[in-house]
Amino acid sequence: MKLKQIDQFRWRLEQERGMKVPGLIFADKAGLAKIRSDRSLEQVANVAHLPGIVGRSLAMPDIHWGYGFPIGGVAAMDPDHGVISPGGVGYDINCGVRLAVGNLSRFDLAERAEDLADTLYHRIPCGVGRGGDFRLNDREMVELLVKGAGWVVGRGYGTTEDLDRTEERGCLRAADPDALSERAIERGRTQLGTLGSGNHFLEAGYVEEIYDQDAAERFGLKKDAVTVMIHCGSRGLGHQVCTDSLRSMQKRRGVDQIKIPDRQLACVPIRSTAGERYLAAMAAAANFAWANRQYLLHLARNVFSSLFPGTSLRLVYDVSHNIAKMEEHKVKGRMQTVCVHRKGATRAFPAGHPDVCEEYRSVGQPVLIPGDMRTGSYVLVGTDRAMDETFGSTCHGAGRAKSRSAAKREISIEELEAGMRREGVLCRARSRKLLVEEAPEAYKNVDSVVGVVHGAGISRRVARLKPLVVIKG
Amino acid sequence: MQYQWIDHDADMLLEVAADSCERLFECAGTALLEALWGVPPSSESQFTSEIRLQCEDKVDLLVAWLNELLFLSETGNSRPRSIERFRLAGNNLHAFLICETKGAGSEPVRDIKAATYHDLAVEEVGGEWRARIVFDV
């Protein structure tokens, strides 16, 4: 792999045989050394082989080795000549993050932090196999998959302002429930309003530092204000959509004659029945994920209201990390529609963009970057440079630095818990063993990752958040 | 027949080796069920469930087999805990699983989203069958 340094934060991956475009990696020198230690650069090159890719095969600084696309990978395809690949979205379709801010300060919360941790843990369904408050019938499933977060709001679990402050207003119109298998529907029936496990979490914290006063004010963020961050996705329903789609695309390999370097990059032309079917199924799964995060926020609001009467939690924004969407971008100097795959990457649209809700349009779209469960997280804002260079995309988190088994070998639960206590973070988890796999030491330093996207100008720091209470499956 | 989980930053990587393709598939299934459940079933409320799968090639079949186990582990009222009998004839798979009724035993210890095609090959090398499977977690 030939890499050429462009500047402090950009590296060009030279176009080699079979690649249709070069790669562009956002990283500092230390980050690049880590990136080189796994196979993620090879995956950036693999993505560049896909038919119809335009611009460059992009890698954000939290990139790491995934399957098909790297995690932290972005690619845009020409809809008339390009392909759609479920491997460019992932199994957890529309895994994403939402952030709410409360009208109380961290000092109000301090005395009842243990109560808050216990009540959130009791009330938020989390962990493997844990069902939620719903068992959706066929009609409800269809409505939910079509309407997304709006279905949940329509039942009284949120407000229209919540929808305004959600990417795509929490609903992709291309959704078609008929494109989902019975298995996908079955997996989703009891999973609305569930957190799941792994790296998913619900976190109460506070605004530790503000970097951009103007944008922070517009987003409703004040120093020391209590925040709630929710990270989860489309659960088993989304996993099944990806599994079903990959399997059907494998069968079409002989039909479409598309040469790919990794079978996980299985793809079909966007303008084909199979392509449209995947986009319709993926959109339905994305809508399920937005509905899921909307209902989880409703549960968190109830917990806060019960413990801190008079409290409100205002949604700041909700972003998707794993998705493919038709968007307007400049390609070779001309605006055109492209299908942007973001796998472990966040949309970062700038001020003035019509897809940014009116309330935030003068400053740009909030970008939510969770770090690890002890260090902190960031709120950024989208920039024009992201539109010019990354199809309006930026990083999505800290990115893993250690395997799960390495984390278990090298970190003890006692050390982890002591470290959390020292930092004043309370944690409730279904499994202490799995908690170690998610230890802060298993992740890259979020400050460094954010430093790269800020330094490169593809998003800008607005505020830093610090966790106080972490709920994990 | 042997398997081991290899370090992988983001996901879970399983390496399997066996003296036949049939044993390879069975071993991969056993490894996955052990990763999901931790220990073999202890409940008395067990029963046997039968599954049949057919695919175009061995890679597809291995992915379909493992994803079938994941689907069964999450949905319905039965939970596959171990493999009782396993047959592979060409690209046709026939297995009998020992299952527990949901709620009769423990819940899965971890969430595994899917078996992926990434870098997956089912191959015979020097009389030994091998496969490496990346699971999304």
Q: Do B9 and A128 touch (CB under 8 A)?
A: no
CATH assignment at residue B63: 3.55.10.10
Q: Do B71 and A92 touch (CB under 8 A)?
A: no
Could you tell me the CA-to-CA distances from A1 to A22, A47, A79, A343, B118 in Å, in that order? 11, 14, 29, 22, 20
How many distinct structural domains can be found in chain A? 1
Q: Which of A47, A264, A343, A431 to mutate to test the interface with B (most CBs of B within 10 A)?
A: A264
- How close A353 gets to chain B, by Cα (Å)? 34
- How close B29 gets to chain A, by Cα (Å)? 17
For the ranges A164-168, A258-262, A415-419, the lowest mean pLDDT is seen at A258-262
Q: Do A196 and B111 touch (CB under 8 A)?
A: yes
Longest dimension (CA), chain A: 64
Q: In 10 A of CB A432, how many CB atoms?
A: 12
Q: For residues A52 and A74, what is the distance between their CA atoms, to the nearest angstrom?
A: 14
Ordered DSSP codes for A313-368: EEEEEEEESEEEEEEEEEETTEEEEEEEEEES-EE---TT-TTS-GGGTTT--EEE
For the ranges A198-207, B1-10, B101-110, the lowest mean pLDDT is seen at B101-110
Q: Which domain holds residue B32?
A: 2-136
- Interior CA angle at B91 toward B90 and B92, to 5°? 95
pLDDT tens per residue, range B57-114: 999 999 999 999 999 998 878 889 899 999 999 999 999 999 988 776 667 888 899 9
Active site members of A: 396
Residue A427 clears pLDDT 90, i.e. is over it: yes
pLDDT at site A432: 79
How many distinct structural domains can be found in chain B? 1
User: What are the residues whose beta carbons fall under 8 Å from the beta carbon of A115, sequence distance 6 or more?
Assistant: A307
Whether the CB-CB separation of A90 and A343 falls below 8 Å is answered with: yes
Nearest to A91 among B10, B59, B136 (CB): B136
Residue B42 pLDDT level (bands cut at 50, 70, 90): low
Residues in B closer than 8 angstroms to A263, CB to CB, are 59, 117-118, 120
Q: For residues A347 and A369, what is the distance between their CA atoms, to the nearest angstrom?
A: 11
Burial class (CB in 10 A: 0-12, 13-18, 19+), A361: middle
Q: Do B110 and A251 touch (CB under 8 A)?
A: no
CATH assignment at residue A178: 3.90.1860.10
- How close A20 gets to chain B, by Cα (Å)? 21
Give the SS3 label for residue B33: helix
Whether the CB-CB separation of B133 and B121 falls below 8 Å is answered with: no
What tokens appear for B137 in the block? 């977690």
pLDDT at site B44: 64
Q: Which domain holds residue A221?
A: 3-472
**How many Cα atoms are found within 13 Å in the side-chain-facing hemisphere of A339?**
27
* Total-model pTM: 0.96
Residues of A with CB under 8 A from a CB of B: 38, 64-68, 71, 87, 90-92, 127-130, 183, 186-187, 196-198, 236, 239-240, 242-243, 246-247, 250-251, 262-264, 266, 400-406, 431, 433-434, 473
Ordered DSSP codes for A194-238: ---STT-EEEEEEEEEES-HHHHHHHT--TTEEEEEEEE--HHHH
- ipTM comes to 0.90
Residue A26 clears pLDDT 90, i.e. is over it: yes
Residue B1 clears pLDDT 80, i.e. is over it: no
Which one-letter amino acid corresponds to residue B92?
N
Q: Do B7 and A66 touch (CB under 8 A)?
A: no
Q: For residues A30 and A33, what is the distance between their CA atoms, to the nearest angstrom?
A: 5
The alpha carbon of residue A88 and the mean position of all alpha carbons in its chain are separated, in whole angstroms, by 13
Mean of per-residue pLDDT scores for chain A: 95
Residues in A closer than 8 angstroms to B117, CB to CB, are 67-68, 246, 250, 262-264, 266
Encode burial over A174-199: b for 16+ CB neighbours within 10 A, e otherwise. Answer: bbbbebbbebbbbbbbbbbbbbbbbb
Encode burial over A50-61: b for 16+ CB neighbours within 10 A, e otherwise. Answer: bbbbbbbbbbbb
Q: Do A262 and B117 touch (CB under 8 A)?
A: yes
pLDDT tens per residue, range A239-256: 999 999 999 998 887 677
pLDDT at site A399: 83
Query: With a CB-CB cutoff of 8 Å, which residues 91-130 of chain B face chain A?
Result: 107-111, 113-114, 116-120
Residue A265 clears pLDDT 90, i.e. is over it: yes
% of chain A surpassing 70 pLDDT = 100
Q: Do B118 and A264 touch (CB under 8 A)?
A: yes
